[in-house]
Amino acid sequence: MNIEIISASAGSGKTYRLAELLEAEVSKEGRVWPDAILATTFTKKAAAELQERVRTKLLAAGLTVEAQQLFASRIGTVNSVCGQLLSDFAFELGISPNQKVIEEEAVSAVISRAIDRVIDPKTQRELKRLEGVFVETDTRQVIEQIIAKARANGLQGKDLLISGQRSAAGFKELFGEAAADGKQLDTNLADGLSIFLREVDPEVDCTKITKKAVGIVQRLKGRLIHQGVGQSFRLLPGV
């Protein structure tokens, strides 16, 4: 099998080139059967556009039968094409043929229901408390991201657990020993935030990432002041 990977940016003519290629291959008698074509895209709009362009080219070439057969091809989003394959070969795979792909906008709701079923209320309250400790943290969003990355990397439950334990151990090494003086640690953090705000000029570095980081630091600084860790800020003039 000869696989060629071509990377191209948006608007560079990928769909146009694919339509040309498919029409050329179908036009060669016996080379490619229209109903045997499999092509995936990221959006439904792109899939419909690709199929329509190929049909238009086939009709323009007088290949009306082939243009009609194209309706039986597998041209669609990754989810829809894979869903069709699962349904068609469900019996051989030993799974139910009633496969349904969860729409992207419904994923968060499904994950929220799953979280409510597997995480007890006490743990959920603790996670909610930690959200207040770590700025800009949404526990359910983090869990959703972990699930997405686990699926992308083919990690099953046991593998994911091992990966989590390894990550936790790595974080503990980075943190080192717990500070004996918590107040001094807060003061050091406050000083560090002040230095950051003094050194970073959003007018010079006006990227979105920098703007977001400055906003997070300012909110965290305000929270520390509210908790009574404000005296250290006065040690750093100009902030």
Residues 6+ apart with CB under 8 A from 194: 221, 232, 233, 236, 239
pLDDT of residue 237: 41
Q: How many CA atoms lie within 13 A of 161 on its CB side?
A: 2
Under 8 Å between Cβ of 172 and 199: no
The Cα–Cα gap between 129 and 136 comes to: 13
Across 84-96, average pLDDT: 84
Mean pLDDT across 208-213: 86
* 8 Cβ contact partners less than 8 Å away, ≥ 6 residues apart: 14
Q: How far apart are alpha carbons 163 and 179 in whole angstroms?
A: 27
pLDDT-derived band at 131 (thresholds 50, 70, 90) equals confident
Identify which has the larger pLDDT, 57 or 133: 57
Q: Specify the pLDDT at position 178.
A: 72
The contacts of residue 122 (CB under 8 Å, 6+ apart) are none
| 233 pLDDT tier (thresholds 50, 70, 90) | very low
Q: pTM (2 decimals)?
A: 0.45
pLDDT band per the 50, 70, 90 thresholds, residue 127: confident
